[in-house]
Structure 1
Amino acid sequence: MTRKVKVGIIGCGGIANGKHLPSLSRLEQVELVAFCDIEVEKALKASEKYGTSDAAVYKDYGELLKDSSIEVVHVCTPNASHAEITVAALEAGKHVMCEKPMAINSEEAKLMVEAAKRTGKKLTIGYQNRFRQDSQYLKKVCEQGDLGEVYYAKAHAIRRRAVPTWGVFLDEEQQGGGPLIDIGTHALDLTLWMMNNYKPKAVMGSTFHKLSQNKEAANAWGPWDPEKFTVEDSAFGFVTMENGATIVLESSWALNTLDEGEAKCSLSGTKAGADMRDGLRINGEAFGKLYTKQIALGAGGVAFYDGNVESDADMEARLWIEAVVNDTEPLVKPEQALVVTQILEAIYESSKTGKAVYF
């Protein structure tokens, strides 16, 4: 890749500074030329650290989109504005990387898919866990057919006490939900991708507000304010697919359990199984005996050398920009992310009505 790709960032908060900006700044072919945030100070700070010398700063994303030199836009705003900004950016002729979840409901997610098709511009969603070493390895195992037909799976997104207390994470109106839409979305995306199955048939779900009202609670980021905690603290789903395959999805920010694990999946197939619970393990039987293989993912093995392993966020950014430059499909397709959104929405709906949601 030789030509420079001019990128604009809309939303300069935690996820932009924690993932998108560091990874994009390490790509020689990327120029970060525009920064936008409703809190202009955040955009200014990001511009000073990551932008070109003449980078522009905006409060209104509509003004940023008027710059015809910007080829790619990253949408890193609260969930409720993902669809509106993404559709506007696509219609302004930009390729869009939108942070997960795709949208707060399937109706808005569909508008995003339609806008991408209508404009001919690329759209991808920030499911960076697909780019982890264990995920990449397990995907190859699945594609090779080593597991056979995967007919049962678990999507794990369990935190014992790690409620994000900053920003708008606890605001249902801005976020559309709590741990299910925040971290459950990663686990479900991984699971569907491994199974290569995007045809849900029915969903049952439960959401809980059992620990959210605890005052002075133990928490990784300090106690939360119960009055501002308007989203669920845990959520669980039971998904059956058209071909009969079954997925159990578990998610929590606060749950009385020692069985923690985030952005992981377990797969059971007709030939073998796999899980990410303790590193990456493959299990099966051979010659009348059971076996468990632990996959050695480290690149080191030599004293004082751990290997130069590309991080998941760096690989995500690199492959996304390569897809733009080479006019190829991004790894995370918007149609796949739409199905994730539809299932999450169905879990919330089922929890409210007490009934199964059928597709």
Structure 2
Amino acid sequence: MKDKLRVGIIGCGGIANGKHMPSLSKVKEVEMVAFCDIIEERAKKAASEYGVDGAKVYTDYKELLDDKTIDVVHVCTPNRSHSFITVDALEAGKHVMCEKPMAKTSEEAKKMVEAAKRTGKKLSIGYQNRFRPDSQYLNKVCRRGDLGEVYFAKAHAIRRRAVPTWGVFLNEYEQGGGPLIDIGTHALDLTLWMMDNYKPRMVVGTTYRKLADNENAANAWGPWDPKKFTVEDSAFGFVVMENGATIVLESSWAINSLQIGEAMTTLCGTKGGADMWDGLRINGEEFGKLYTLKPSLDASGVDFYEGESENPSEKEARTWINSILNDTEPVVKPEQAFVVTQILEGIYESAKTGQPVYFK
């Protein structure tokens, strides 16, 4: 077994700097040896901040993949290029962590799953919210069967006014969509993971552009440019699973609602329920009485927690690297991420056609 894994970063923009590279730098079994970005200065900056001495810099990802000493690649590019870069990296003999969502379409996502099986290399997708303390606790509760059969759930990804105005978030060609594919994907992944149900039967979806054309709008990151806002501002889905379970998915970057929260789930089962609206709350009935349990997780916030020695992104990175070193399955399996992409694509398709989308 190798003592250190040599990692290459493809895409040195916001998500690489905000999540991947800082998290990998905390994993002692990792050396970041190569950095690629279409803007060379970004790759050089990343190499100087996170790379080993002599780290290589590239503007063509295929040149990075030609380096046979690289063991692992992190794909941190816009959604449009996730699939073909990941497939090329797997074919080049690299294990791949690809940032969420898996791909713009289920066809592209399927190619990634097939490439991982064909090459025998590990593939995982960056759903770091699974590694939050509340998510980990709730998943154990679900696996133990405390909630019984979860037959109704909600996946929440609602912001009142927090449209990302940097990068290519507003660009439909690069991203494939707006809040649904950006933050709705996290909420749906969490919900399916808790339910351990990856067999959708049909979906009905709606998308809206109701606030996107507002000039000088109030926004957490400053007003957006309506001319560049080529995606939806809100999207909603009604999903029916093969076993009859129902999931309602709500996602928005800008909506007139005071009930906000993202990467959250509500679960209703035959024995109990759970939600994340006031910390993690688990509810049920015992001895003829109703109860609500609020486990103390010594944490605050949604994405990142205080009082924790390791934030979710760091735990994701360490767990991912350990899965390679110990030859175990990644926590986020590509087959699971494929179903997330399948459902998101179904919502977009249903919104366009006005018809339900049925899965084979």
1:203-352 aligned within 5 A = 203-298=203-298, 307-352=307-352
Note the alpha carbon deviations across 1:187-226, whole angstroms, 9 max, x for none. Answer: 0000000000000001000000000000000000000000
In structure 2, C-alpha distance between the alignment counterparts of 1:308 and 1:168, rounded to whole Å? 32
Question: 1:315, CA displacement in angstroms?
Answer: 0.6
Note the alpha carbon deviations across 1:126-160, whole angstroms, 9 max, x for none. Answer: 00000000000000000000000000000000000
In structure 2, C-alpha distance between the alignment counterparts of 1:199 and 1:13, rounded to whole Å? 34
Residue identity matched to 1:46: A
In structure 2, C-alpha distance between the alignment counterparts of 1:241 and 1:322, rounded to whole Å? 33
- Preserved contact between residue 90 and residue 96 of structure 1 (Cα < 8 Å): yes
RMSD, aligned α-carbons: 1.2
Partner of 1:186: 186
Residue identity matched to 1:58: Y
Residue identity matched to 1:136: Q
Note the alpha carbon deviations across 1:150-185, whole angstroms, 9 max, x for none. Answer: 000000000000000011000000000000000000
Partner of 1:84: 84
In structure 2, C-alpha distance between the alignment counterparts of 1:69 and 1:11, rounded to whole Å? 19
Question: 1:286, CA displacement in angstroms?
Answer: 1.5
Partner of 1:95: 95
Could you say what secondary structure the match of 1:32 adopts?
Answer: strand
Could you say what secondary structure the match of 2:88 adopts?
Answer: helix
TM-score (norm 2): 0.97
Could you say what secondary structure the match of 2:32 adopts?
Answer: strand
Partner of 1:5: 5
In structure 1, C-alpha distance between the alignment counterparts of 2:201 and 2:343, rounded to whole Å? 10
Question: 1:308, CA displacement in angstroms?
Answer: 4.5
Residue identity matched to 2:149: E
Partner of 1:303: none
Partner of 1:24: 24
Question: 1:307, CA displacement in angstroms?
Answer: 4.8
Partner of 1:36: 36
In structure 2, C-alpha distance between the alignment counterparts of 1:2 and 1:22, rounded to whole Å? 22
- Preserved contact between residue 127 and residue 189 of structure 1 (Cα < 8 Å): yes
Residue identity matched to 1:53: D
- Preserved contact between residue 299 and residue 309 of structure 1 (Cα < 8 Å): no
Residue identity matched to 2:312: D
In structure 1, C-alpha distance between the alignment counterparts of 2:243 and 2:107, rounded to whole Å? 25
TM-score (norm 1): 0.97
Note the alpha carbon deviations across 1:71-111, whole angstroms, 9 max, x for none. Answer: 00000000000001000000000000000000000000000
In structure 2, C-alpha distance between the alignment counterparts of 1:80 and 1:223, rounded to whole Å? 25
In structure 1, C-alpha distance between the alignment counterparts of 2:258 and 2:283, rounded to whole Å? 23
Partner of 1:138: 138
In structure 2, C-alpha distance between the alignment counterparts of 1:309 and 1:355, rounded to whole Å? 48
In structure 2, C-alpha distance between the alignment counterparts of 1:55 and 1:105, rounded to whole Å? 34
Could you say what secondary structure the match of 1:117 adopts?
Answer: helix
Residue identity matched to 2:353: T
Could you say what secondary structure the match of 1:265 adopts?
Answer: strand
- Preserved contact between residue 2 and residue 325 of structure 2 (Cα < 8 Å): no
Question: 1:309, CA displacement in angstroms?
Answer: 3.0
Could you say what secondary structure the match of 1:70 adopts?
Answer: coil
Distance change >3 Å, CA 338–CA 169, structure 1 → 2: same
In structure 1, C-alpha distance between the alignment counterparts of 2:24 and 2:330, rounded to whole Å? 16
Note the alpha carbon deviations across 1:235-273, whole angstroms, 9 max, x for none. Answer: 000000000000000000000000101000000000000
In structure 2, C-alpha distance between the alignment counterparts of 1:13 and 1:56, rounded to whole Å? 17
In structure 2, C-alpha distance between the alignment counterparts of 1:40 and 1:190, rounded to whole Å? 36
Residue identity matched to 1:78: P
Q: Give the length in aligned residue pairs.
A: 354
Partner of 2:118: 118
- Preserved contact between residue 98 and residue 125 of structure 1 (Cα < 8 Å): yes
> Gaps (5+ residues) in structure 1?
301-305
Give identity over the alignment, percent.
Answer: 74
Residue identity matched to 1:188: L
1:187-202 aligned within 5 A = 187-202=187-202
Question: 1:345, CA displacement in angstroms?
Answer: 0.2
In structure 2, C-alpha distance between the alignment counterparts of 1:114 and 1:295, rounded to whole Å? 40
Could you say what secondary structure the match of 1:185 adopts?
Answer: helix
> Gaps (5+ residues) in structure 2?
301-305
Residue identity matched to 1:226: P
Could you say what secondary structure the match of 1:33 adopts?
Answer: strand
